Amino acid sequence: MAAKEKPQEPAGYCTTAVLANLFNVSAQWIGELTKSGIIRKHETVVGQRYNVVEATRAYVTYLREKITAKESEKDLSPQEEEKLAAEIRIKKAKADYAEMELAELQGKMHRSDDVAKMTEQLVFSARSLIIALPGRLAVDVAAVETAAEASVIIRRECNAVLDELSNFKYDPAAYQKLVMERQRWDGDTDEDV
């Protein structure tokens, strides 16, 4: 009997441990934020997980409200204000990064190095087709008697190359494969804490 495949983590969702690492806090603190309703879990095919972008935005909002509350209670020292402002900037940057990573996983955005790699493949395909032309044409062109007949054969082969190149289409799966290779995501994930 075939073993059941483990369902893959849904894109854009993570475990408590991963979110704690992202926020640079403990898993217990993530649990407290969840209990207090600041962030929330969602049911997914692999169990309850946090939506990375939603949780990060909620946490940034929480930190802003915390700053506002502290400022209204008492004046913060410049060092405390700077520390809280820096923490908010870091969390916001992490949220932006997570949002871009999610867009990449969903195929809505591609990294320039991935586009360059796919373009390079197209260029190499065109190069190999063009380099093969003399070998494909030599016997046929040598067998004809007039330049007009040679021209027809050459044109036919050039059109065949162009037709083959025109079949080179955008393939989201190819970009997805590059993302997975780069991230080394193979479906193995941390267990939820």
Domain ranges of the chain: 13-109, 112-171
- Please tell me the predicted confidence (pLDDT) of residue 37: 92
pLDDT digit string (tens) for 62-117? Answer: 888 887 776 666 666 788 778 888 988 998 888 888 888 877 777 777 878 888 88
Alpha helices in the chain (DSSP H): 16-23, 27-35, 52-73, 78-105, 112-143, 147-166, 172-183
- Please tell me the predicted confidence (pLDDT) of residue 71: 65
- Please tell me the predicted confidence (pLDDT) of residue 120: 87
Burial of 136 (0-12, 13-18, 19+ CB in 10 A): middle
Residue 19 · residue 30 · CB < 8 Å? yes
Residue range 13-109, CATH number: 1.10.1660
Residue 135 is encoded by which pair of tokens?
């070998």
Model pTM?
0.44
- Please tell me the predicted confidence (pLDDT) of residue 193: 41
Query: In 3-state terms, what secondary structure has residue 101?
Result: helix
- pLDDT < 50 positions in the chain: 1, 186-193
- Closest residue by Cα to residue 10 from 192, 187, 190: 187
- Please tell me the predicted confidence (pLDDT) of residue 192: 45
Residue 184 is encoded by which pair of tokens?
């080394």
Q: Which helix (H) or strand (E) holds 42?
A: strand 41-44
- Please tell me the predicted confidence (pLDDT) of residue 4: 66
DSSP tag of 41:
E
